[in-house]
């Protein structure tokens, strides 16, 4: 179930997206917004340079993608 997008929810999504230890899968479970929707929310609500810095930071980051993290753990065992 997707929550109604309010200013408070936008702030929460931005905080969750900036957090290193919170995956896009967890954001989806809590808010109903997919990774691509979170990216669109970030693009719309951040300054252009802040958005670019955030994308560089999360691009390919294993902790932002639960499935990738789990696969890496299984592979390393």
Q: Kindly give the residue spans of alpha helices, DSSP state H, lying in the chain.
A: 7-18, 24-31, 35-45, 48-58, 66-76
Question: For each of the chain's 77 residues, which pLDDT tens digit applies?
Answer: 677 889 999 999 999 999 988 999 999 999 999 999 999 999 999 999 999 999 998 887 777 766 554 544 555 55
pLDDT at 20: 87
Give the per-residue pLDDT at 72: 47
pTM above 0.75, yes or no: yes
Q: CA-to-CA distance for 8 and 4, rounded, in angstroms?
A: 10
**What residue segments make up the domains of the chain, in order of their start?**
7-76
Q: b or e along 17-38 (b: 16 or more beta carbons within 10 Å of the residue's beta carbon)?
A: beeeebbbbebbeebebebebb
């Amino acid at each position: 179930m997707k929550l109604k997008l309010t200013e408070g929810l936008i702030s929460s999504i931005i905080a969750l997206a900036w957090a290193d230890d919170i995956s896009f899968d967890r954001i989806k479970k809590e808010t109903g917004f997919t990774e691509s929707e979170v990216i669109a929310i970030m693009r719309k609500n951040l300054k252009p340079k802040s958005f670019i810095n955030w994308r560089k930071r999360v691009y390919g980051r294993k902790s932002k993608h639960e499935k990738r993290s789990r696969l890496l753990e299984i592979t390393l065992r």
